[in-house]
């Protein structure tokens, strides 16, 4: 019995430790954004923000974004983990590897299925290669039709148009045109009132997040950012904890970049701020984790004509 009891106690201790790690591990960085880099910065989404005195190392590349990399974006950086592969790459992955493996096997004397020799092996190989080519062509045709593309793809749709004066001539093309349309870039001046708005948003967003006030968050951030915040809040609820943030105070901040794209203004600001970041059990109020008392992040805000600034991205600094 003593051995069984000892094993039971050991198992109970391991389960308790696992439960504690389950609660503590995801909330080491419990403030909005969870210590990650997420959101959208227009055509600069996948370009790391510039270095500033507040963030000398600049910013990290985006980890999560609903903005897909495109030819209009400079330095796409790391791929978006949440983005699915394009159907146009269908023939370059699995089937290409399969064909290469088959041909290699044939050169080594095994063919696609092995067991054949001499002329029969060569005829069998040619037949199998031809059959595989037909299958690949039919598969590519099927996926093109499913995506609404013609069976015979035309380079004129995706390549430069000789009649538009060069690669930039298709900027105004529609969805069925050639080159994707590039946004009209312009300068945006940031003044004292804008910096006051950024500082106010820093505190208001932290407060609304702490209160789990999704309605207020939707007025202060883009739908994309609100979606990320909602995922974090739901994660806290599933673990039976709540994140309380208070005493947010901006210690230092400066402008990293500001620009305009079409009718949207953007501003990326490096901010070092102090805060009280506590995670506690919902029922008992027992503190289970304390966040860092200070953080430095790059927040990107966007503004539409006639509207105020709202948060569109949070990125961590490189150390």
Q: What is the pLDDT of residue 266?
A: 98
Q: What is the pLDDT of residue 35?
A: 81
Does the structure show a pLDDT above 90 at 295?
yes
CB atoms within 10 A of CB 163: 7
Give the confidence band of 293 by pLDDT, cuts at 50, 70, 90.
Answer: very high
Average pLDDT, integer, range 270-292: 95
Share of the chain above pLDDT 90, in %: 52
Average pLDDT, integer, range 204-215: 97
- Check residues 2 and 131 and name the one with the higher pLDDT: 131
Q: What is the pLDDT of residue 315?
A: 97
Does the structure show a pLDDT above 60 at 305?
yes
Minimum mean pLDDT among 147-151, 210-214, 260-264, 311-315: which range? 147-151
Domain boundaries defined on the chain:
24-72+184-316, 88-152
Work out the mean pLDDT of the chain and round it to a whole number. Answer: 74
Q: What is the pLDDT of residue 204?
A: 98
* Residue/partner pairs of 98-107 with CB below 8 Å, 24 or more apart: 98/132, 99/129, 99/132, 99/136, 102/128, 102/129, 102/132, 103/129
Average pLDDT, integer, range 160-168: 36
Q: What is the pLDDT of residue 107?
A: 41
Does the structure show a pLDDT above 50 at 160?
no
Consecutive H or E run containing 299: strand 294-303
Average pLDDT, integer, range 59-65: 94
Share of the chain above pLDDT 70, in %: 56
Q: What is the pLDDT of residue 31?
A: 82
Average pLDDT, integer, range 254-258: 97
Q: What is the pLDDT of residue 16?
A: 47
CB atoms within 10 A of CB 188: 15
CA 205 from centroid of its chain's CA atoms: 21
User: Model confidence over 35-57: pLDDT tens digits?
Assistant: 899 999 999 999 999 999 999 99
- Check residues 95 and 238 and name the one with the higher pLDDT: 238
Does the structure show a pLDDT above 60 at 292?
yes
CATH class of 24-72+184-316: alpha beta
Q: Alpha-carbon torsion 199, 201, 202, 207, what sign?
A: positive
Q: What is the pLDDT of residue 2?
A: 55
Q: What is the pLDDT of residue 291?
A: 92
- Check residues 19 and 315 and name the one with the higher pLDDT: 315
- CA dihedral in degrees (315, 317, 318, 319; nearest 10)? -150
Measure the CA–CA gap between 224 and 312, rounded to whole angstroms: 8
Q: What is the pLDDT of residue 69?
A: 85
Average pLDDT, integer, range 134-139: 63
What residues contact residue 250 under an 8 Å CB cut-off, 6+ apart? 199, 202, 271, 272, 273
Give the confidence band of 108 by pLDDT, cuts at 50, 70, 90.
Answer: very low
């Amino acid at each position: 019995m003593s051995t069984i009891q000892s094993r039971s106690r050991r198992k109970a201790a391991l389960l308790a430790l696992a439960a504690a790690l389950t609660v503590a591990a995801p909330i080491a960085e419990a403030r909005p954004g969870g210590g990650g880099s997420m959101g959208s910065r227009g055509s600069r989404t996948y370009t790391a923000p510039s270095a500033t005195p507040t963030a000398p190392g600049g910013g990290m590349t985006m980890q999560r974004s609903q903005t897909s990399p495109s030819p209009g974006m400079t330095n796409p950086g790391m791929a978006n983990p949440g983005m699915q592969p394009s159907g146009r790459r269908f023939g370059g992955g699995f089937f290409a590897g399969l064909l290469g493996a088959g041909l290699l096997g044939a050169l080594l004397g095994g063919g696609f299925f092995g067991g054949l020799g001499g002329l029969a092996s060569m005829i069998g190989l040619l037949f199998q290669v031809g059959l595989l080519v037909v299958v690949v062509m039919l598969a590519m045709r099927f996926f093109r039709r499913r995506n609404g593309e013609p069976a015979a793809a035309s380079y004129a749709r995706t390549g430069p148009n000789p009649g538009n004066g060069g690669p930039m001539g298709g900027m105004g093309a529609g969805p069925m045109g050639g080159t994707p349309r590039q946004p009209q870039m312009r300068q945006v001046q940031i003044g004292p009132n804008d910096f006051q708005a950024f500082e106010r948003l820093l505190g208001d967003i932290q407060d609304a997040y702490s209160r789990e006030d999704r309605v207020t968050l939707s007025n202060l951030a883009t739908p994309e950012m609100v979606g990320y915040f909602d995922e974090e809040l739901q994660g806290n609820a599933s673990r039976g904890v709540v994140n309380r943030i208070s005493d947010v105070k901006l210690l230092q901040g400066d402008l990293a970049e500001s620009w305009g794209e079409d009718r949207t203004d953007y501003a990326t600001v490096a901010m070092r701020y102090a805060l009280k970041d506590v995670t506690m059990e919902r029922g008992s109020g027992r503190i289970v984790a304390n966040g860092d008392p200070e953080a430095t992040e790059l927040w990107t805000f966007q503004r539409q004509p006639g509207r105020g600034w709202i948060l569109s991205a949070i990125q961590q600094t490189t150390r």
